[in-house]
Amino acid sequence: MSASLATRRALATVLAAGALIGAAALPAVAHDDDRRDHRGRHSSIVIGDVQNDSRGRGRDNRALNREWVEVKNTGRRSVNLRGFTLSDRDGNRYRFDHLRLDGHSSVRVHTGHGRDTHRDVYQDRRHQIWDERDTATLRDDRGRVIDTESWGRRGHHEHDDNHRR
């Protein structure tokens, strides 16, 4: 038994419309920058630049705040960093309080004392953390490594590409 020509055309129109709607929705899902990767990590949060102040090794607040590690959100959506930690090779750890990092923005984590803002936060330490040769490790609120960066080998900064997409 064959369907009428009008029925076949109507069915073809419905199927084509469904395919168009599905194709239009696909890029929105495929380009969601704030998703977690296959290991459950926040794939849009990474360590950016690092500045360690090995020149002075001073204990005054100005010297302490000359060293910092930048945490970047490369995605479009904001991410709450509450519970995330940033640590060095010796086990010194900074835990983020409630800080929402907007999409395509960054925050510098300074060692010394200061007033926290959306662009700069302070560990309130009295001694320097980041050595001439060190590794910064960023973990999410569940303790999973999101990114690491090491520096000091011949004066270069090196990202650990095993934790990058």
- Rounded Cα distance between 51 and 35, Å, is 29
- Rounded Cα distance between 118 and 36, Å, is 23
Question: Can you read off the two tokens belonging to residue 13?
Answer: 């129109």
Domain encompassing residue 86: 45-163
83 and 135 share a domain? yes
pLDDT digits (tens, 9 = 90+) for 75-124: 999 999 999 999 999 999 999 998 999 999 999 999 999 999 999 999 99
59 and 98 share a domain? yes
> Residue 32 pLDDT > 60, yes or no?
no
Of residues 128, 104, 107, the one with CA closest to residue 118:
107
Does an H or E element contain 94, and which?
strand 93-95
Residue 106 sits in a domain whose CATH number is 2.60.40.1260
Lowest mean pLDDT across 30-34, 100-104, 111-115, 158-162: 30-34
Residue 138 belongs to a domain? yes
- pTM for this entry: 0.69
Residue 38 belongs to a domain? no
148 DSSP 8-state letter: E
Q: What is the sign, positive or negative, of the torsion defined by CA atoms of 44, 45, 47, 48?
A: positive
57 and 131 share a domain? yes
80 and 126 share a domain? yes
Of residues 101, 99, 102, 115, the one with CA closest to residue 65:
115
In the chain, the number of structural domains is: 2
Give percent of the chain with pLDDT exceeding 70: 67
Q: Mean pLDDT of all residues in the chain?
A: 80
Contacts of 84 (CB under 8 A, 6+ apart): 45, 71, 95, 96, 138, 139, 140, 141, 146
- Give the pLDDT score at 58: 61
- Give the pLDDT score at 26: 42
Of residues 65, 130, 66, 75, the one with CA closest to residue 100:
75
